[in-house]
Amino acid sequence: MRSAESRAEDGLPRAQTESDTVSRPEWERRGETGNIFSAPSHANTSPPASRQSAGDVIEMTRAGSMTSAAPLTTSKEEEQQQQQQQQQQQQQHEVLGTGASKKRRFFKSGGNHASASMIPQEPEDSGKDKQAFTAVGQLKATLLNSWINVLLVMVPVGIAVHHAHIDPIAIFVINFIAIIPLAAMLSYATEEIALRTGETVGGLLNATFGNAVELIVSLLALFKREIVIVQTSLIGSILSNLLLVLGMAFFLGGINRLEQNFNVTVAQTASSLLTLAVGSLIIPTAFHAWSNAGEAGIAPLSRGTSVILLVVYACYLFFQLKSHTEIYNKPSEKVEKRRGRVGTGDATIGIAQIGAGISATMGGDNAQRVPMAIPDEQEEPQLTIWVALFTLAASTALVALCAEAMVGSIDAITTRGHISETFVGLILIPIVGNAAEHATAITVAIKDKMDLSIGVAVGSSMQIALLLVPLIVVIGWIAGIDEMTLYFDGFQIAVLFVSVLLVNYLIQDGKSNWLEGVLLMILFLIISVAAW
């Protein structure tokens, strides 16, 4: 017959684990057997957390005993020691619970006591930056965040050859290459800011700074009275963002996922405003073709329409940043990446858990740990907010300098390069000008941040159509350049209308996949061939 002390110890309630829940009937069966299980596996360990006092345990032991036994006495010192041990184990349980959200969680199938199944975890992030930012560390993070930054050496070279008045084609090519790493640096700084401000503000900020290149190129060409370059570069920027940037974001983001989700309300709002902007360009073109007013009525119509579009863009900013911020800040559902093998879904994880529980009843402590679903690691900022803002401003300024040098060599490209002026303005310049948006949209799409990706691509197109185009018209009006109107070439308006129509169809369901990205890129390729 077992002693009263042994039975009292068996009566102590233990902290339950997941494997204990599965194996409870087996433990009850073992407790009813004889001396084989007289010494439980947790007998030599400190008692786990319990809400019952030692006196309650003694009374329960006396009531459950079938034979007479000497009363179990517990001194005050022993009670204090037990309470301290209980508090320590409760703290360990809390650490285990809070750390599971950031680390890999395991289902331990063995272990007959709570302390044996514990896995040391880090406590949950308190919300404050615990990382110590150093000047050297931030400099390394800025310059070494991408292999493409090795091309930064082309930035001073491009500026130097421009001021040295070397061959214009060499100036164009060198500055074209120099803008690429600067765009990557701008993308990195924007993503750092987005980690602190959210995807909505981050996307708006990136679209604003990214379009600085288009603004500089358009102003330079405007004051040189190269109206064709101004109009084709603006239309080409919209096409590049809608087809090439968004298409590559859909393709590279969805290549490892079944599909990706985004805020359909936000996307449809942007596409609706973009449709309005396209309509504002179609109306002056139709007015010029079928109205009796002719050239004389185009300038007043364009200027009045431009002022209205600027008001619409101001209303959109108020809608996005003030009145309906909840809609834009609503997180989208994230989709897990595809695995390299079949059978890693929720059903497989559940089967693994059940198998682990069965193994616990059969093998005890010898059971294996089965990994649970692995949550995505939360990104942490690598730069302070001021360093990120400085990096964003500096990279934008350098992009503007290189773009200025590139614009000055456009004439040499069109006369000696055997390509049309339309192709340079519609395809080449927008690719360089949208390099920042291109890098950012693709990077965040691969990380399944589709709201930020669409905010950059579609938002940038909408900003060009509602802000830059009417702003350039107003600036031309002030400068006395009457040739700058909203009357665009029929080919440009047609391809822009088809592009906006396709994008509206693809984003109306709030989901994307790699095939939709292929469709967008194919349309851009067709337009490029037609513009050659």
pLDDT value of position 90: 62
Contact 109, 356 (CB under 8 A): yes
pTM (two decimals):
0.63
Give Cα 82 to chain centroid, integer Å: 49
Burial (CB < 10 A; 0-12, 13-18, 19+), residue 496, is buried
pLDDT value of position 478: 92
For residue 177, the number of C-alpha atoms closer than 13 Å in the C-beta half-sphere is 16
Q: How far apart are CA 42 and CA 19, in angstroms?
A: 15
Q: How far apart are CA 528 and CA 413, in angstroms?
A: 17
pLDDT value of position 67: 43
pLDDT value of position 76: 62
Buried b (16+ CB within 10 A) or exposed e, 14-33: bbebebbebbeeebeeeeee
pLDDT value of position 502: 93
pLDDT value of position 336: 62
pLDDT value of position 75: 57
Buried b (16+ CB within 10 A) or exposed e, 211-250: bbbbbbbbbbbbeeebeebbbbbbbbbbbbbbbbbbbbbb
Rg for the chain (alpha carbons), in Å? 33
Full set of structural domains in the chain with CATH: 4-117 (no CATH), 137-334+377-531 (1.20.1420.30)
pLDDT value of position 306: 94
pLDDT value of position 499: 93
What is the three-class DSSP state of 101?
coil
Residue-by-residue pLDDT tens, the chain, 532 positions: 445 555 444 555 454 544 444 445 444 444 544 444 444 444 455 555 544 444 444 444 444 444 444 444 445 667 777 777 776 666 554 444 444 433 333 333 334 443 333 444 444 444 444 567 788 888 888 887 777 788 889 999 999 998 888 888 888 889 888 887 887 787 788 778 877 776 667 656 766 666 777 887 888 888 888 888 899 989 999 999 999 999 999 999 888 888 888 888 888 888 889 899 899 999 988 888 887 766 778 889 999 999 999 999 989 888 887 787 777 777 666 666 666 544 444 444 443 444 444 344 444 444 444 333 334 455 677 788 888 888 888 888 888 788 778 878 877 877 876 778 788 888 888 887 777 677 778 888 888 888 888 888 888 888 899 999 999 999 999 988 888 999 988 889 999 999 999 999 898 888 888 999 999 999 999 999 998 8
Residue 392 carries which DSSP code?
H
pLDDT value of position 248: 92
